[in-house]
Structure 1
């Protein structure tokens, strides 16, 4: 089966904004710094070198060592943390929520994209070091988005209450999730591997942040992945001046609102608030609202005067958490970062933020769309071949695919293009006659032309519908394999968990290695991985 080139632009699964960004449309160029090409990283390195204090490197490395204290750290990761102290070292970063047992597959693809880009950049710029970083979204509070994963068409879910930052959640109750997952896994080496991985991650660690760090570390420690938790006192201290500016000047609100008109043709991903900070405790994450000179914590009785909230910021910076508008700025303040790799939704909100970075004198990173992947088994590929399907076919909507295959199966041509052309020529002649004789007939001729063409289109649709019924069994087999590869008529990577392939791979380490080997982060096309 040929490995067709399915570009992100022609896949049908990305928004107009992301397609236009990938096509480097002129109207979007003011919204980003540099487009992701190997050549453009040279200038990005120069910019970040001038704009990242050496003392921040020491603070970052020390904070990371502290975060890893309770974990067995690989030599590759430990070496990378030490390299962060060197002014010639830079990071490539992705971020993700603390989804239970990684959640959907694109968790893997994000991290693999980061790892592979660091390797590509090391080849291009050997005098520099490039470190892959996974930023854990420990301060998010959207628990309902992360407390489950799908396995064997079942929802494996952690049921509990959560009001504060999810990273601080204790892991109580996950033993019940383990029992449910374990019973579904079945037998075999892969099932045992996944069972043990879940158990060690979630039943042997006290917080969701620690559990997620262990899990990601187990999957990628040989690649030197560095995992960072932004919910850290020493790192938050670096953010104090910028949080103070946010409280007093509301710069991000002003700058992002200035940018939004440039995105008027698109669906805006997020809208800024007047203050884009949360106040957090273990069981609290609420917006800070400025009312009549006082800083109120939404849905609580807490209130601060200006001097009081600035004192609180100085004394307890860990109680202040950036929202989706400010979190990227915080990230780029504490990391010597060159590039952020994310999904389409993430890049959409990053494209709102460049002016705020400029106002804060922080280098805006290169934005790269993460790799997207379709995984198929050899048995599925054989089915596709027997059905005469290629990869372009399988990415079509079912309506498009049904129409295409029905026309191919039909013993006669279901295409009235020739008849439409003949009809249009006839009406062109009638319009010419009307122009020469009585121009009042022009409207009547055009109306009749539209009616006749519409009639032909309706006949074509009726014929196609009738012929579709004659090939129902073939089409059902086509839809069956398409639904396997695109569950819920959506991308596999947004639905399935890594455990979905428990019976399709020899072992999970080789599974992750195979994905890592085949993804090319700077290519704008789907990777087709055959197991």
Structure 2
């Protein structure tokens, strides 16, 4: 196994805000608590230990015991669940939607990053225990984002009507997806394993939460991963005081709005990942997850279908107290919920997730909850042996592949061409000649400066035009090489996007089988903060 690493900023696939965060740019230090370096976990452990009550551990343990009923629990996972009751145990957490059959490849990378960080922390801080946690986004209602996965350029999609929290959806209609997948995948040993995983997860479980838990447990239980569902009344009991501050005092809305303004004033390129609402909770019921909106002192829940609900403030307070399970945090409030119920030190997420977490620190401070360390998950480009042979034959480097396609082809054409297509020397000579002409015009008649400038622009444009025509001619001459280079780049960057954002793990599993996850566990170093190019 060969591992290359590229700086995140050099890949061209990450925002300026994330690049500045990785570089620990001084201007954004105030938007997070501690940077994701190994030594900073010492202070995070001390802070969380002082803040996380033993009673919360008991509630968490009881919830996990119920959620794992009927699930084959491995010894490492079972031990980790028990450890969560101990005050020396802390978690590292990642979260993700319930994407069908895990969705894009980066789902695996998030969890592997989480597992590997707990291992690294145990080596550095041996008197403590560290548990990797996967938070299932069971209360999300964006069905169209999770109802498909890609397999070899085909989109395998679960077609059905959906409303409410996706985790509560029954698995009706997934037999058709299984049949389509089975027809595509073949029948070798690795294919049979994949078909069994899909069948056992989605055809033998009644809802999407149970199906996802089963599948992720099959993939990662040997590494002690603990899978948590926040759609739980016992856990929501712990959220009540924070939900009230959001709903009735609009603490989150006020603080996040201020933070967004501060970020925008720093750099217009940062952009805003998530805007807060006045109330950052949905009302959750059977088949319904709808916004709560305050108007004229009344709180309205208006579903697309059926009659709406109107609460007075007093009635809504009673509803929160009696039925906290009916209040579902949105993307702004969910991170706080996570940190309230887990003895968590670090959240591992993608670039978009880290960007919206950077909006939240002041809300955590106002709520009196420690803000976790934020860590950008590992990103990976996997290159198979066959693909690597093609790259070597064409003398293509990993760095070349990350160029946009036009720049990639032009760069390689210049390298392999038997004539010099770089007009830089001619442009430099032209610069020198016009420098002399400017000096002459200054000494004789300054009114000629405009004419000199116009001529300079004309001649430089002419050189650029000639260079482009020559390059185009060489592309035609080297059409075969251009075709092969384009083909391999398109293969590794499907739809001109990162492989990890498009491919499903099943394609790599067909290639590597049971070695896939151990290979990732061995290769990925979560605190390295570089893009990994992995060649077998």
TM-score (norm 2): 0.96
Q: Match for residue 422 of structure 2?
A: 415
1:353-384 deviation digits (Å, cap 9, x = unpaired): 11101110111111111111111211111111
Rounded Cα–Cα distance in structure 1 between residues aligned with 2:4 and 2:84: 40
More displaced, 144-153 or 91-100? 144-153
Aligned residue for 1:460? Answer: 467
Specify the SS of the correspondent of 2:92: strand
Deviations 1:287-339 (A, max 9, x none): 00000000001334211000000101111100000000000011111111111
CA distance in 2, matches of 1:502, 1:68: 27
- CA distance 1:246–1:502, change in 2 (3 Å): closer
Does residue 272 (structure 1) correspond to residue 276 (structure 2)? The answer is yes
Length, aligned pairs only: 529
Structure 1 partner of 2:111: 111
Contact 1:102/1:497 (CA < 8 Å) preserved in 2? yes
Alpha-carbon distance between aligned partners in 1 of 2:184 and 2:352, rounded to the nearest angstrom = 32
1:79 maps to what in 2? 79
Which runs of structure 2 are paired with 1:11-22 in the superposition (5 Å)? 11-22=11-22
SS at match of 1:10: helix
- What is the 5 A alignment of 1:468-479? 468-479=475-486
| 1:521 matched to 2:536 | no
- Does 2:340 match 1:336? no
Deviation at 1:254, TM superposition (A): 0.4
Q: Which runs of 5+ in 2 are unaligned?
A: none
Q: Which residue of 1 aligns with 2:23?
A: 23
* 2-structure distance, mates of 1:211, 1:362: 32
Q: Does 1:295 align with 2:299?
A: yes
Stretch moving more, 38-47 or 92-101: 38-47
- Please, which runs of 5 or more residues in structure 1 have no aligned partner? none
What's the CA shift for 1:2?
A: 7.9
Inter-partner Cα distance in structure 2 for 1:420 and 1:165: 62
Residue 383 of structure 2 corresponds to 376
Query: Does the 8 A contact of 2:4 with 2:532 survive in 1?
Result: no
Paired position in structure 1 for 2:101: 101
Aligned residue for 1:526, secondary structure, equals strand
Q: Distance in 2 between matches of 1:449 and 1:176?
A: 66
SS in 1 for 2:155: strand
1:3 Cα offset (Å): 5.1
Aligned to 2:52: 52
Aligned in 2, Cα 1:78/1:503: closer, same or farther, shift over 3 Å? closer
Per the alignment, in what secondary structure is the counterpart of residue 93 of structure 2? strand
TM score, norm. by length of structure 1 = 0.97
Partner deviation per Cα, 1:25-49 (whole Å, 9 max, x = no partner): 2221111111111011111111111
Q: Give the CA deviation at 1:434.
A: 2.4
| Secondary structure of the corresponding residue to residue 139 of structure 1 | coil
Match of 1:161 in 2: 161
SS at match of 2:221: helix
* Alpha-carbon distance between aligned partners in 2 of 1:210 and 1:359, rounded to the nearest angstrom: 35
CA distance in 2, matches of 1:36, 1:293: 43
- Tell me, in whole angstroms, the C-alpha distance in 1 between the residues paired with 2:158 and 2:311: 36
Equivalent-residue separation in structure 2 for 1:27 and 1:356 (angstroms): 19
- Which residue of the partner structure matches residue 262 of structure 2? 262
Deviation at 1:59, TM superposition (A): 0.9
| Contact 1:409–1:471 (Cα < 8 Å) also in 2 | no
* Contact 1:4/1:390 (<8 A) preserved: no
Q: Is the 8 A contact 2:348 2:376 kept in 1?
A: yes
The SS at the match of 1:5 is: strand
Whole-angstrom CA distance in 2 between matches of 1:379 and 1:410: 26
Structure 1 residue 443: deviation in Å?
Answer: 3.0
Q: Which residue of 1 aligns with 2:288?
A: 284
1:436-481 alpha-carbon deviations (Å, 9 max, x no partner)? 3333333332332222222222221121112111111111011111
Confirm or deny that 1:438 pairs with 2:438. no
Q: SS at the partner of 2:85? A: coil
